[in-house]
Amino acid sequence: MTLKSLAIMTAILSTNVAPALAQAVNSCDSYIANAAFLVFPPAETTAEYADGAVRLITLDTAGEPACCSYHLMVLYPSSDGSYLECSLVSSTVDYGYYSIFVNQAQVLRDDAEAVSLMVPTEGNVDGEVIPAAMRIDVDLAAGTLAASAP
């Protein structure tokens, strides 16, 4: 873990000064879930867990809106395992994050039943960039995803 990522994670986990950002889980049936919005290089902006069954993909809607154009696409198995579900995690229904640090995600749980992650982000509150995070919980048996602020 780099010094910068350690500082970001420490700020997220040790302070209550910055307001928590809301989390919204949406379907991938929107313009946001477009391959053109994949953030490069993918080695730094994508990740796999549960032997590749859960995949995180960082998307950027071409800098629009400037405050919060980053969204997280999560692919995970359906309840019967026959296909992949797709969900978009954003800070609100209308806005994403200022940035998302998938390559710095902290694994809380990664086993045959579930994957739980804490993903560092940056949000925008009243024009100020603040450290934040999103918690992602995938129930592999139920084929469900939940997202929350820590």
Q: In what order do the strands lie in the sheet with 24-27?
A: 24-27, 84-90, 70-77, 54-60, 46-49
Residue 50: pLDDT over 70: yes
Q: Which of 51, 107, 111, 113 is nearest to 79 (CA)?
A: 113
* d(C-alpha 35, C-alpha 128), whole Å: 29
Which pTM was predicted?
A: 0.86
pLDDT bin (cut points 50, 70, 90) of residue 21 is confident
Determine the average pLDDT of the residues in 108-120: 97
Q: Which of 146, 138, 46 is nearest to 101 (CA)?
A: 46
Determine the average pLDDT of the residues in 135-144: 98
* d(C-alpha 116, C-alpha 139), whole Å: 9
12 residue type, one letter: I
pLDDT, the chain, mean:
89
**pLDDT tens profile 54-112:** 999 999 999 899 899 999 999 999 999 999 999 999 999 889 999 999 999 999 999 99
Percent of the chain residues past pLDDT 70, beyond the cut: 87
For residue 22, what pLDDT is reported? 78
3-class secondary structure for the chain?
Answer: CCHHHHHHHHHHHHCCCCCCCCCEEEECCCCCCCHHHECCCHHHHEEEECCCCEEEEEEECCCCCCCCCEEEEEEEECCCCCCEEEEEEECCCCCCECEECHHHCEEEEECCCEEEEEEEEEEEECCEEEEEEEEEEEECCCCEEEEECC
For residue 19, what pLDDT is reported? 54
Percent of the chain residues past pLDDT 90, beyond the cut: 80
Residue 6: pLDDT over 90: no
